[in-house]
Structure 1
């Protein structure tokens, strides 16, 4: 073991710790690791930065754009309509249809986008048929993951593994090369959820309205600002009422006229404020100088409608700019034209006290009070996904036809070998822009830049492992420990290690770490690289045991009101089942 290998393994151990603990965002960790490889002389600057020009990185960026163009065109609106009709007939048929629809879409569209598209529909269907959303959201996420492993463009992980293979001198993965084994995984996964998994799904209480669901338990009262109130003459957001008592002002009436509530509104004497306040602060409000209380009662959904507002649920999307920041830091209310956050569901906990000071995480659900104008602005926020009070996309045949034809062209040209996938994807993006399928200013917004920087960074791990011989050293250890049992046993070990690691750290980071080792292991044993490479690609996306295992699992955590144990209960048997199936069918479709 050389000094260089020790440095590389030390940096990779640091990366794994940072990925698992999530002390820093995954893109930050990836770029940090790349920088450490360069600073220690393991990689040259050109080698370290090569990930940014890697075909895998460019292809993933292009597929973000194509997926967004399909979604924005309204081409998938009929999917939501069909799912709603099926759901109202039969729960089991709805579950089966949901998983198959999610799988079919995820084979060609980014699976995070598929879950974002279908989650509001699923939540609405669950309320229509009086079934808890927790009975349908895990099947939605699992279905999208199972569909994603059926094609090259199904997940960014598949594209990444293909890029690593190409960099190491292997043949890139074909568009439908993953399909035979992928479809077997899909059938097994859907059958498991239909016959076994659905019985393990939790059944959380189905609330009649959002205020009850979020257990607001708050009171609505009207107060009159007397001339001697310290808040008179101050901006609403800077007044003692809002700053010190942390109350939400729902409506302001001045001289019998209702006026719009916004953060910089100057309060005046005799203003009547309709406010929402927690039970613990009600006593303090009664003792506030210059304030006269009128009647008080429990807060209800109807109170939002009376003030020309509605309650909305919005989820913090994976890799959102809002992650790690508080609403106060983001100046959420001012930035969103006065829309106010009433409560936050973080994992399985609902936070009411000082929600503006809570550090936000991906998957957190915000309960927001907003009028129609504010809701429109919220829907334009790329860092939030409205999952209630949704508006269905309208068909736009002027966009749908060219968008679908261009997308089909990208798939066909890559599948037939007429063009490499990176070229066909880039060509598709340029055609979409020129034909108006997506605006140029939208292109930069729809690309998940955190994923792009993360991919570029983690590719340096594979380069460092291969260059220093660390990959060969680790491969030798694996062969020494398991090699006597043959390549079948080694492949099974790779699949197991990959899906276990993916449940606790980034799936792309796991693939970038293990794919080079898998290639060297196969070469050292003198067998085909393909089955080992495929084992890593499949296993890195088939992560069902934790909410951190994949972005779609994180997205449904809050809306489904799940607990960590729910994923272990439903996902662990499925992961073990697929591990057994993979150990049998991967060598069958990809012989040693």
Structure 2
């Protein structure tokens, strides 16, 4: 049992505490015993909550709020309106800790884990999870994707697009645009789904970072950075120059988005290559590898943020595992780059 305070927090009642009328209590009770408790103790269910005594077999689902979820920045009332009685919210975990505050006042964040109940069919529950941008973690045999033929169709179309780019030198933008159109033609992707699955924050950020990359070049900062690198590393082996670019790109990628890191570091690596009279391809590859290896912090990549809550990870857990992994990547990627281009 818990008592809800005026601030919305939940506390344990004192041993001799006297309850008052209209006081809000949180009870852990079987749905079959709810009606008896209401009659015996004179309790009523908060109208903001779903009625747990409704008919049907109760099932529980644990689902995580993904970075593209509609619930981010919203409260319980929005969840209730979108769920339309198919899903009910029972609990919320954030970074491995169960919240002891009223769920009706809590603002949802990416990575939160929700404990949901449902009495509807698996198909309806799966549709609501997809609509809300929730990823099931544990469920009652929830069949999220029944038609496996669509999976094979999607994989085949995507494989054709990749093969056309790799072996037939078709422009990658054209190939993947045709891939999306094929998905739409085969009804593998709906019009609403196209807009819902686009990473709009990344698109906007890249649009903002491209002018910044141009400004770095036009202002001379890119040239200054390249001069700094070549001045101190002009006498060393080219492999050590690639190591510096790779490690520095990894470091920046742990602080900002990896796509933005590539936009910033690509002009610098090109300038370094030109000043050293070397081909630009190995330097750009070092940037590409470094920007893809953001393992030292939960903010470097959205996947890092996504697993932080369900895995109960702390900030320090990332660099403890990420640092050896990044060292291993440097030790493998530099010899491969050197062997390919030099």
Please give the TM-score of this superposition, normalised by the length of structure 1: 0.48
User: 2:22, 2:108 → 1: CA distance?
Assistant: 34
> Which of 145, 148, 160 is matched with 1:409 structurally?
160
Cα–Cα, structure 1 residues 281 and 568, in superposed 2: closer, same or farther, change >3 Å? Answer: farther
Cα–Cα, structure 1 residues 549 and 278, in superposed 2: closer, same or farther, change >3 Å? Answer: same
Which residue of structure 2 lines up, in the alignment, with residue 177 of structure 1? none
Cα–Cα, structure 1 residues 332 and 402, in superposed 2: closer, same or farther, change >3 Å? Answer: closer
Structure 1 runs, 4 residues or longer, greater than 4 Å off: 241-247, 280-285, 296-308
> Which of 433, 439, 449 is matched with 2:200 structurally?
449
User: 2:92, 2:81 → 1: CA distance?
Assistant: 18
Give runs of aligned pairs for residues 287-298 of structure 1, distance below 5 A: 287-289=20-22, 298=28
CA offsets, 1:42-68, max 9 Å, x none?
Answer: xxxxxxxxxxxxxxxxxxxxxxxxxxx
User: 1:420, 1:522 → 2: CA distance?
Assistant: 26
Which residue of structure 2 lines up, in the alignment, with residue 422 of structure 1? 173
Return the structure number with greater helix share.
1
Which residue of structure 2 lines up, in the alignment, with residue 310 of structure 1? 59
CA offsets, 1:212-244, max 9 Å, x none?
Answer: xxxxxx46xxxxxxxxxxxxxxxxxxxxx9996
Q: Give unpaired runs (5+ residues) of structure 1.
A: 1-217, 220-240, 248-276
Aligned-residue offset at 1:278? 5.8
User: 1:402, 1:300 → 2: CA distance?
Assistant: 45
> Which of 280, 296, 313 is matched with 1:529 structurally?
280
| Contact 2:71–2:78, Cα closer than 8 Å, also in 1 | no
Q: How many residues align?
A: 318
User: 1:299, 1:588 → 2: CA distance?
Assistant: 66
Where 2:61 maps in the other structure, the secondary structure is: strand
Where 1:286 maps in the other structure, the secondary structure is: coil
Q: Does 1:331 align with 2:78?
A: yes
| Contact 2:95–2:310, Cα closer than 8 Å, also in 1 | no
Which residue of structure 1 lines up, in the alignment, with residue 119 of structure 2? 371
User: 2:15, 2:53 → 1: CA distance?
Assistant: 22
| Contact 2:71–2:132, Cα closer than 8 Å, also in 1 | no
Cα–Cα, structure 1 residues 391 and 282, in superposed 2: closer, same or farther, change >3 Å? Answer: farther
CA offsets, 1:11-51, max 9 Å, x none?
Answer: xxxxxxxxxxxxxxxxxxxxxxxxxxxxxxxxxxxxxxxxx
Which residue of structure 2 lines up, in the alignment, with residue 381 of structure 1? 131
Which residue of structure 1 lines up, in the alignment, with residue 44 of structure 2? none
Higher relative contact order (CA 8 A, sep 6+): 1
Aligned-residue offset at 1:532? 0.9
Give runs of aligned pairs for residues 22-421 of structure 1, distance below 5 A: 218=1, 279-280=12-13, 286-289=19-22, 298-299=28-29, 308-323=57-72, 325-328=73-76, 331-338=78-85, 339-372=87-120, 375-376=125-126, 378-389=128-139, 390-397=142-149, 399-400=150-151, 402-421=153-172
Q: Give unpaired runs (5+ residues) of structure 2.
A: 34-50
Which residue of structure 1 lines up, in the alignment, with residue 40 of structure 2? none
Cα–Cα, structure 1 residues 488 and 353, in superposed 2: closer, same or farther, change >3 Å? Answer: same
Cα–Cα, structure 1 residues 322 and 504, in superposed 2: closer, same or farther, change >3 Å? Answer: farther
CA offsets, 1:533-583, max 9 Å, x none?
Answer: 001101111222222222222111111122222222222111122223333
CA offsets, 1:474-520, max 9 Å, x none?
Answer: 11112123333242221101111111221222111111111111111
Cα–Cα, structure 1 residues 456 and 282, in superposed 2: closer, same or farther, change >3 Å? Answer: farther
User: 2:290, 2:190 → 1: CA distance?
Assistant: 36
Q: In angstroms, what is the RMSD of aligned CA positions?
A: 3.4
User: 1:401, 1:492 → 2: CA distance?
Assistant: 41
| Contact 1:348–1:563, Cα closer than 8 Å, also in 2 | no
User: 2:308, 2:162 → 1: CA distance?
Assistant: 32
Cα–Cα, structure 1 residues 429 and 418, in superposed 2: closer, same or farther, change >3 Å? Answer: same
Aligned-residue offset at 1:448? 2.0
